[in-house]
């Protein structure tokens, strides 16, 4: 087994055995990472790189929206849905216009959400 295959198997196993909370954190890590890579792509004038990474970020947000439990989540879920919708629409706009400032705006939201969920995860684990 090559190193790349072993790494891929390890990563797949990590995903398959992760708790819902850990998967959420992994998705937030990916969201931040892909927005940052999308920004780099825009700054480097690499259309393919920016597009592919911003699409990945958009897909993560769509996943958040699809799995949000509106019945159990109450007002918090409604607020998150509105925020996710805004973030998604702005990322689409950033991707279409190749606008770094819009992408950076959404990166700030993503980083703040990631930090919030990391703190909540730590508290829940105790």
Task: Give percent above pLDDT 70 in the chain.
Answer: 86
Asked if pLDDT for residue 10 goes beyond 50, the answer is no
pLDDT given for residue 29 in this prediction: 97
Q: Alpha-carbon distance 91 to 57, whole Å?
A: 8
49, 20, 16, 17: which is closest to 34 by C-alpha?
Answer: 49
pLDDT above 80: residue 39: yes
* pLDDT of 7 higher than 50: no
Handedness of CA 121, 14, 80, 72 (dihedral sign): negative
Say if residues 62 and 81 touch (Cβ distance below 8 Å).
no
pLDDT tops 60 at residue 17: no
Question: For tokens 């607020």, what's the residue?
Answer: 79
- Token pair 């708790």 in the structure block, residue: 19
φ, ψ dihedrals at 46, nearest 5°: -100, 90
- The 3-state DSSP class for residue 18 equals coil
> What are the tens digits of pLDDT across the range 102-119?
999 999 999 999 999 999
Per-residue pLDDT tens over the stretch 49-71 = 999 999 999 999 999 999 999 99
Q: Is 95 exposed, middle or buried (0-12, 13-18, 19+ CB in 10 A)?
A: buried
Domains and CATH numbers, the chain: 20-125 (1.20.120.340)
Per-position DSSP letters for 13-30, written without gaps between them: HHHHH--HHHHHHHHHHH
Read off the pLDDT of residues 86-107 as tens digits, 9 standing for 90 and up.
999 999 999 999 999 999 999 9
Neighbour tally for 27: CB within 10 Å = 17
31, 110 in Cβ contact below 8 A? yes
pLDDT computed for residue 123 by the predictor? 87
- What is the model's pLDDT at position 33? 98
């Amino acid at each position: 087994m090559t190193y790349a295959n072993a790494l891929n198997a390890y990563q797949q196993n990590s995903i398959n055995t992760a708790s819902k909370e850990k998967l959420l954190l992994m998705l937030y890590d990916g969201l931040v990472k892909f927005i940052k890579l999308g920004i780099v792509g825009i700054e480097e004038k690499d259309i393919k790189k920016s597009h592919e990474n911003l699409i990945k970020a958009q897909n993560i947000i769509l996943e958040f929206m699809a799995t949000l439990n509106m019945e159990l989540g109450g007002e918090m879920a409604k607020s998150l849905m509105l925020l996710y919708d805004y973030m998604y629409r702005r990322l689409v706009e950033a991707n279409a216009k190749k606008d770094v400032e819009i992408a950076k705006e959404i990166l700030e939201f993503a980083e703040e959400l990631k930090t919030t969920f990391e703190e909540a995860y730590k508290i829940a684990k105790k």
